Every structure is written in C-alpha cells, then in structure tokens.
Amino acid sequence: MLVNEKNVNEYPVFIRPFFWRQKKKYGEVLKPGLLWGRSPWLFSTVAMLYGALDRRRSPIDPVIRSLVTVRVSQINWCEFCVDINSKTLMERAGAQVKVDQLEFWRDSNIYTHEERLAIEYCEVMTYSDLQVSDELAQRLKAVYSEDAIVELTGLIAFQNLSSKFNAALNVPAQGFCKIPAQPSTTND
C-alpha cells in the first residue's frame, strides 16, 4: 500500500466503534477504513454517507446496489472493492453467476431489465469519455422514480470515490472472494 495503516489504538476513540463493527462483520478491520481513519472527520463523513446509501429502506434494490458497486470497482480496477463488493453481491443475489458474468453483462441473459439499465448507467457515469444521453435519461425515468435515480447516482458517484481512493493507494484485496485477474492493457 502507498500509505501505511496505523495500529487501531492510535486512532481517535470516536472512530474505533466503526473498526469494531468491521471486525465483527468481516473478521478483521478493513484496510480502507484504516487509511480513511488517518483523517478521522473525513472517515466519519464517508462512513455516514455510505450508510445512507446502503440502508435497508433505499429505493434501490440491494442486488442492483451491489451490481453497480462491483461494476464500478471493475472499471476502476480496485482489487479491494471488487473483492468485498463481489462478496456482498453473492450474498444478496444468492449465486456466484451474477459476479462471474458482470464484466460481460451485455452478452448475458441473466440480468433483469432494471439491472441492465442500472449497469449501463453506472458505466456511462464511470467512464469519463461518456455522457448520460437524453435517451438514457428517459429510459431511467421509465423504470426508476426520481428519488431512486438520485440515490442510484449518489451510490455510483460514491463507489467511484471509494474505488479510486483505494486503487490510488494500492489497497489489496482481503480475501473475501475469488476475484478475476487484472484485465490486460495490451491489444492482442
């Protein structure tokens, strides 16, 4: 990693409960938390934002939330994010197949119309050379409420922040699931 983590006891007392919950849920403290924790107020703000986006009463289906977080993570090649978000997607979808085929979702018939639309939207938001077209906006409005579109947009933007942060700091996967090899950067 580009920046070293500190011992948990070196972080301010008010963020240690976050670490305790991570350890309880995942069996260990998450490395990105230890890095964000170097700026405690920033960490707290990011954690609260994520909690708001991934709450149970979100208007966005949990599987769709996980699909877009994994896809953004794949695009930004964040090993940690692909690892942990794929684990969550497997739990929410009840199957590995949605993880395995996500990179090639356009050629797969396992995704619902709503899932495909959300994945397409996340790609358009994530690739900096693309823009949300009027046609895509109309298709989104035909499926999702305006409140849901705002939440979906916020989630995709948050995952871009998170995955770019982790990728830049070279945060490794923590072994939550099997992740694919990094895509080749050469044209074969």
Coil vs helix vs strand at 157: helix
Mean pLDDT in residue range 61-88: 96
**pLDDT at 182 (0 to 100):** 53
Name residue 177's amino acid: C
> Both 70 and 132 in a single domain?
yes
CA distance 59 to 115: 14
Structural domain total, the chain: 2
pLDDT in tens, 114-150: 999 999 999 999 999 999 999 999 999 999 999 999 9
The verdict on residue 135 lying in a domain is: yes
Q: Terminal CA-to-CA distance of the chain, rounded, Å?
A: 30
Q: Give residue for tokens 């979906």.
A: 152
Residues 68-103 as b/e (b if ≥16 CB within 10 A, e otherwise) read bbbbbbbbbebbbbbbbbbbbbbebbeeeebbeebe
Global confidence as pTM: 0.90
More confident residue, 178 or 183: 178
The verdict on residue 154 lying in a domain is: yes
> Both 122 and 49 in a single domain?
no
Report the half-sphere exposure of 38 (CA within 13 A, side-chain side): 10
pLDDT in tens, 146-182: 999 999 999 999 999 999 999 999 999 999 986 655 5
127 CB neighbour count, 10 Å cutoff? 10
Inform me whether the pLDDT recorded for 185 exceeds 50.
Answer: no
Q: Give residue for tokens 């998450």.
A: 30
**Which residue range is the domain that position 40 belongs to?**
12-53
Name residue 144's amino acid: Y
> Both 84 and 131 in a single domain?
yes
The verdict on residue 187 lying in a domain is: no
Inform me whether the pLDDT recorded for 65 exceeds 50.
Answer: yes
> Both 159 and 76 in a single domain?
yes
pLDDT in tens, 77-105: 999 999 999 999 999 999 899 999 999 99
The verdict on residue 188 lying in a domain is: no
> Both 71 and 127 in a single domain?
yes
Structure tokens at 75: 């695009």
